[in-house]
Structure 1
């Protein structure tokens, strides 16, 4: 019996309106920087993929927000460097401070349409809900701004735990907040490696929320590491 459902955040509950590149481009334009949003989005993806996991083991909680800020500043700076427009900034730190604050609001995000119906259904069934994410501490403000915070009993993020999914440590930390065995917990997330494989390795049940199965198949990136992969394309299809 599923007693607790862990959910990933970005890409599962909510996502960026349009693209990261477009949001970055719009604000950069107000600082006099001209860049193509598609090129910038590709540059961001490259920068983000090459970054170290956003986790700071052994660091006291009070210092984590600044480290998160610096981590994201490095990712953003590299994205603009890859796009070849970093030199256009007269004050990149000021630009990034505004960009970072922007992503702590509801404005750049949208909630997937299947999320609220699913959360309400699970709440009525008496299932505890929790967020387990490789997000930073802005997650608390974002969940509140998107009217999602009230649904979750706990929030566990990589920067506070000191380990990022798929590391089992973050799942263990989340489990400790709930009086429940791992086998009675289901984790749902959009990353095959971080969410599905990570949760299964930690002893949890897992479902890969593959919101764009056509793109995965077309790109030839369908994971074949297991003979059977529990997946769905929408939370609408899940019933407990």
Structure 2
């Protein structure tokens, strides 16, 4: 197997993940606002809602509009999650709760780096392979990567919310490769989603690797 010029990665579920579960985080912060709900119930509701939601991408949006659009996209998911769990009406001030929740996920506190990641990134950096990220995430990824001390490894970060297209669309892979002036045949992509990562990268001509956590 020839050494690639560039290795691109998915972010959440590949490089780092939520400590415990999304439901546990949602439940703990809801409790701060006087709302009691089982973490498992919230976790299932979140994943059900997330699967049904359109991708986090805003074609044609102006750069200055994107932060508000990201915020509203996630707030809709949070509302639907708590509605499915049957406790949405228990909040006296849901916007205040969501503002706290959204800000918390911009910090490193709810996240953990998988144990195989740092040795791998160090090895590839030592071998002078360019590294980048392609993620269906929002602009908070920059503060999360900073907080986890991961940003130093990556020469590029390409996110769906700012480039107007989401994985598995091949265009997001092309946009990322342009930053490295790299052809698809010279690049690998590592991710944990069969559809978004493996099949998306393969369709774009990259060598895909499916990571099964």
- Tell me which interval the TM-score lies in, with the shorter structure as reference length: over 0.9
Compute the RMSD of aligned alpha carbons: 0.5
Over residues 6-30 of structure 1, what are the superposed CA-to-partner deviations in whole Å (9 max), with x where a residue is unaligned?
0000000000000000000000001
Q: Identify the residue that residue 197 of structure 2 maps to in structure 1.
A: 195
Match of 2:105 in 1: 103
Runs of 4+ in 1 over 6 A off after TM superposition: none
TM-score (norm 2): 0.98
- Which residue number corresponds to residue 131 of structure 2? 129
The aligned residue for residue 171 of structure 2 is 169
Task: Please say if 1:80 is aligned against 2:59.
Answer: no
Q: How does 1:1-240 map to 2 (within 5 A)?
A: 1=2, 2-211=4-213
Aligned length: 211
Cα distance in 1 for partners of 2:110, 2:173 equals: 28
Counterparts of 1:122 and 1:175, CA distance in 2: 17
TM-score when normalising by structure 1: 0.87
Give 1:64 deviation, angstroms: 0.4
Please state whether the residue corresponding to 1:56 is helix, strand or coil.
coil
Partner of 1:220: none
C-alpha distance in 2, partners of 1:41/1:48? 10
Shift of 1:158: 0.3
Cα distance in 2 between the residues matched to 1:86 and 1:30? 15
CA distance in 2, matches of 1:51, 1:179: 33
User: In the TM superposition, what whole-angstrom CA distance separates every residue of 1:79-110 from its partner, at most 9, and x where no partner exists?
Assistant: 00000000100000000000000000010000
TM-fit CA distance, 1:179: 1.7
Q: Which runs of 5+ in 2 are unaligned?
A: none
